Amino acid sequence: MSGIMLNLLSAGGGLEGDFVAVAGGGGGSGGGGGGGGVLVGKFPLVGTFTITVGAGGNSGQQTAGNAAQGGNSSLGAFVAIGGGYGAGLTNNGGDGGSGGGASIGSTNIAQVTTGGIATSGQGNNGGTSTNIGVYQGWIGSGGGGAGGVGGSATNYDTGGPIGGPAGGAPLVVTLNGGTYSAGGQAYWSNATSGDAPANTGNGGGGSRSMQAASQGWNGGSGVVVIVYPTSLPALTSIGGGLSYNVTTSGANRVYTFTAGTGAVTV
């Protein structure tokens, strides 16, 4: 989906603008959260429609259960699905725009947990986890991203390095120069991790300790961007529940919606 150019169409007698809708990323628990779904396309430059910007999912504690899925983002009928949650304990990752990463519990029995399943056309699956029976610590798998699947964990031990299976790659959207929806990496260190940045749709990182119960990180909120020529009128109304900014880029007007929900009129 890179290399997207503004291309107004007259099919059906109406003009169309371009948009990108990025959902909120899933929170991390034992596994990393999945990146929020990404949709890139065209919308009709006429009428009133509702825009919603999805929030990031809250984190979870690896021994207590799963994190939370990210919120959906939408532009009228176009809906980007929130990223799947990172799994806690021995659970599977959550389904979503991209799937959340699976987790491994501290057991001495063979087990397999699976990554969450992605929404077709919006992201990639989360990583799986396999324990062949000698595993002693806590480590999960990376969440999927819009540009790649999440990394998988296989039989990590307590002597393993800081840092674990990487989250799936983000997607570069040249419509507005944004890089969105990376999957959360599992088993971050305290020194290098934190909540995913706002308006990225990135999934939250997984738990940051191998043995002790610990908290993952929150997913990043989403964003909705619309682009159309400055030769056409500005939006005639924008609902008060939306946070946004408007800029120009060459001959185009760019509205970036960063939070909330509300109706806009073209």
* 11: phi then psi, degrees, rounded to nearest 5: -60, 130
Tokens 């674990």, residue located: 164
Per cent of the chain over pLDDT 90 is 67
Residue 105 pLDDT greater than 60, yes or no: yes
**C-alpha separations of 68 from 28, 56, 78, 131, 198 in Å:** 8, 8, 22, 25, 16
More confident residue, 4 or 34: 34
Q: pLDDT for 85-103, tens place per residue?
A: 999 888 999 999 999 999 8
User: Residue 112 CB: number of other CB atoms within 10 A?
Assistant: 14
Q: Is the dihedral of CA 210, 212, 213, 218 positive or negative?
A: negative
> What count of other Cβ atoms lies within 10 Å of the Cβ of residue 5?
7
Would you state the structure tokens that stand for residue 218, as one six-digit string? Answer: 């929150």
pLDDT tens, residue by residue, 136-160:
556 789 999 999 999 998 876 555 5
82 touches 72 (CB < 8 A): yes
What is the pairing mode between strands 153-154 and 129-131? parallel
Specify the pLDDT at position 36: 98
pLDDT of residue 193: 74
Within the chain, how many helices (H) and strands (E) appear?
A: 0, 16
Indicate the domain borders of the chain. Answer: 1-266
> With 80 as the cut, is the pLDDT of residue 163 above it?
no
CB proximity list for 98: less than 8 A, separation 6 or greater: 26, 34, 35, 36, 37, 83, 84, 116, 118, 119, 122, 123, 124, 125, 126, 143, 144, 145, 146, 150, 168, 181, 183, 203
Segment 58-83 mean pLDDT: 94
What confidence tier does 124 reach under pLDDT thresholds 50, 70, 90? very high
Residue 79: pLDDT band (50, 70, 90) is very high
Check residues 79 and 109 and name the one with the higher pLDDT.
79
| pLDDT one-digit tens code per residue, 14-38 | 689 999 999 999 999 989 999 999 9
CA 21 – CA 156 distance, rounded (Å): 37
For residue 216, give the nearest of 68, 53, 55, 36 by alpha carbon. 68
The answer to whether 75 touches 228, Cβ cutoff 8 Å, is no
Task: Tell me the pTM.
Answer: 0.91
pLDDT score for 4: 28
pLDDT of 57 above 70? yes
Mean pLDDT in residue range 116-120:
98
